[in-house]
């Protein structure tokens, strides 16, 4: 799959092994000196395989692993990566290989964006969330002072290499989380894709490689298409926030103990309910969205804290425009619209709807 961003264009390759990775690196004329950045979990599973393959193919490659977890997505880890770059005597032409989930991708990408004012990097995503969402689009960054992704840079990778076989070792809750963004892509942009995930849930849930490759490919093409039209999020790209206005607030309300994708699932139901109440979608569409989420194991009804508290979290959303909350609402499966005029009453009704 080709992501067309002019001079910053790159390919996304799909495979069920790492075998083709060295060839893919040579196809993009990767430099000899590489740093494979990964986290402590992925290090144990895949880092040696990838690093050995690179060394065998003549690269001067080293592994740098940091402790896994969102709580380590901060400046200390970035400095650690940059330190490893210096120790490995990397220069402007060297390259970082981000091997892991979204946390690795966001941080390795950010380190690549600032080391020597920017070096190249490639993404080798190993979670469903990163294979279907975060590895495409060029957003990199870290959390700071309780704010998620508040420091960062746009920095496009030179290549995304997706090995769907890595999903076999992924904990189930992480797989469900990734499905949140997958289902989201169907609802915002592609009703045929939504049909596909609705009809192939068995093959997807049992991690059939061929089905996963097909699913990831359509997924990335939807994300890439949106990003190509609006690289820096001035308009269209904001539709990717479907489910996120309420979803982020639920995530905060649960003190980040629920996965991101599961919260986005709840947020999508909330936003769809608002659309249903406005007569933008009918009841069967609302039910269909809920059913697909249910099929993939999402909790849709939750014990929310006090509505005012959750609403308070929404007010901190960094995607507000001129103080107004931005909502993405479905008009049908495959199409959404953006609005800033959703009232507090409508939001509270949505909270009631998603509460047990
Ligand atoms: P993650 O990177 O923390 O991975 C989740 C867990 O799975 C970690 O413990 C990790 O070590 C482990 N893991 C990764 N691959 C594995 C594998 N193949 N087998 C077993 N375990 C594995 O989290 P994530 O959900 O991939 O990404 C979330 C991050 O992505 C958040 O920080 C979020 O802000 C970011 N994000 C970025 C964008 C973007 O556009 N840049 C978009 C969405 C999300
Ligand atoms: Zn998301």
The domain ranges of the chain are 2-169, 172-354
For residues 193 and 333, what is the distance between their CA atoms, to the nearest angstrom? 10
**CB-ligand 1 contact for 134 (6 Å cutoff):** yes
Nearest CA to ligand 1 atom 24: 102
Over pLDDT 70: what percentage of the chain?
A: 98
Q: Say which ligand is closest to the CA of 130.
A: 1
Say whether 172-354 and 2-169 share the same fold.
no
- Residue scoring higher pLDDT (316 or 320): 316
pLDDT at 317 over 90: no
The per-residue pLDDT for range 195-220, each reduced to its tens digit, is 999 999 999 999 999 999 999 999 99
112 falls in which pLDDT band (50, 70, 90)? very high
pLDDT at 224 over 70: yes
Q: Say which ligand is closest to the CA of 74.
A: 1
Give the residue from 62, 6, 4, 56 showing the smallest Cα distance to 26.
Answer: 56
**CB-ligand 1 contact for 349 (6 Å cutoff):** no
Nearest CA to ligand 1 atom 20: 170
Q: Say which ligand is closest to the CA of 137.
A: 1
| The CATH fold of domain 172-354 | Dehydroquinate synthase-like, alpha domain (1.20.1090)
304 falls in which pLDDT band (50, 70, 90)? confident
For residues 24 and 57, what is the distance between their CA atoms, to the nearest angstrom? 11
For residues 156 and 5, what is the distance between their CA atoms, to the nearest angstrom? 9
For residues 24 and 10, what is the distance between their CA atoms, to the nearest angstrom? 12
For residues 36 and 149, what is the distance between their CA atoms, to the nearest angstrom? 22
Over pLDDT 90: what percentage of the chain?
A: 83
**CB-ligand 1 contact for 147 (6 Å cutoff):** no
**CB-ligand 1 contact for 103 (6 Å cutoff):** yes
pLDDT at 118 over 70: yes
**Three-state SS at 200:** coil
| Right CATH for 2-169 from 3.20.20.220, 2.40.30.110, 3.40.710.10, 3.40.50.1970 | 3.40.50.1970
Give the residue from 91, 86, 95, 107 showing the smallest Cα distance to 38.
Answer: 107
Give the residue from 266, 245, 251 showing the smallest Cα distance to 319.
Answer: 245
**What is the model's pLDDT at position 129?**
95
Q: What would you report as the CA-atom Rg of the chain, rounded to the nearest whole angstrom? A: 20
Any alpha helices (H) in the chain, and if so which ranges? Answer: 21-27, 40-42, 48-56, 75-87, 102-114, 128-129, 172-189, 191-199, 201-205, 209-229, 244-253, 260-277, 283-295, 307-315, 344-354
Sign of CA dihedral 152, 158, 162, 166: negative
**CB-ligand 1 contact for 100 (6 Å cutoff):** yes
Rounded average pLDDT over 82-88: 98
**What is the model's pLDDT at position 320?**
63
233 falls in which pLDDT band (50, 70, 90)? confident
**Three-state SS at 316:** coil
How far away, in angstroms, is 152 Cα from ligand 1 center?
17
**CB-ligand 1 contact for 166 (6 Å cutoff):** yes
Task: Report the chain's mean pLDDT, rounded to a whole number.
Answer: 94
**CB-ligand 1 contact for 331 (6 Å cutoff):** no
**What is the model's pLDDT at position 319?**
65
Spell out the residues 6+ positions from residue 101 whose beta carbon is closer than 8 angstroms to its own.
39, 42, 125, 126, 127, 129, 130, 134, 174
């Amino acid at each position: 799959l080709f992501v067309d961003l002019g001079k910053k264009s790159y390919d996304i390759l799909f495979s069920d092994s790492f075998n083709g990775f060295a060839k893919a690196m040579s196809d993009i004329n990767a430099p000899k000196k590489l740093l494979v950045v990964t986290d402590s979990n992925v290090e144990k599973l895949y880092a040696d395989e990838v690093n050995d393959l690179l060394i065998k193919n003549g690269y001067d490659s080293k592994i740098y692993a940091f402790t896994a977890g969102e709580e380590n997505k901060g400046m200390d880890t970035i400095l650690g990566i940059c330190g490893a770059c210096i120790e490995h005597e990397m220069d402007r032409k060297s390259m970082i290989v981000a091997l892991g989930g979204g946390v690795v991708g966001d941080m390795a990408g950010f380190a690549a964006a600032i080391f020597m004012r920017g070096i190249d990097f490639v993404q080798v995503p190993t979670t469903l969330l990163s294979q279907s969402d975060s590895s495409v689009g060029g957003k990199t960054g870290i959390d700071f002072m309780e704010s998620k992704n508040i420091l960062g840079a746009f920095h496009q990778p030179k290549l995304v290499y997706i090995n769907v076989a890595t999903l076999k070792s992924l904990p189930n809750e992480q797989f469900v989380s990734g499905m949140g963004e997958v289902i989201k892509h169907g609802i915002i942009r592609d009703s045929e894709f939504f049909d596909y995930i609705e009809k192939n849930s068995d093959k997807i849930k049992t991690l059939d490689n061929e089905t996963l490759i097909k699913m990831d490919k359509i997924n990335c093409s939807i994300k890439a298409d949106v990003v190509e039209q609006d690289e820096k999020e001035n308009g269209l790209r904001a539709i990717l926030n479907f489910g996120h206005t309420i979803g982020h607030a639920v995530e905060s309300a649960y003190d980040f103990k629920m996965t991101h994708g599961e919260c986005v699932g709840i947020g999508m139901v909330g936003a769809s309910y608002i659309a249903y109440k406005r007569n933008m979608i009918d009841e069967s569409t609302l039910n269909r969205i809920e059913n697909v989420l249910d099929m993939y194991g999402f909790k849709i009804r939750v014990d929310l804290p006090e509505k005012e508290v959750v609403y308070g979290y929404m007010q901190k959303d960094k995607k507000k425009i001129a103080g107004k909350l931005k909502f993405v609402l479905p008009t049908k499966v495959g199409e959404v619209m953006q609005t800033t005029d959703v009232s507090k009453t409508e939001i509270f009704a949505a909270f009631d709807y998603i509460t047990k």
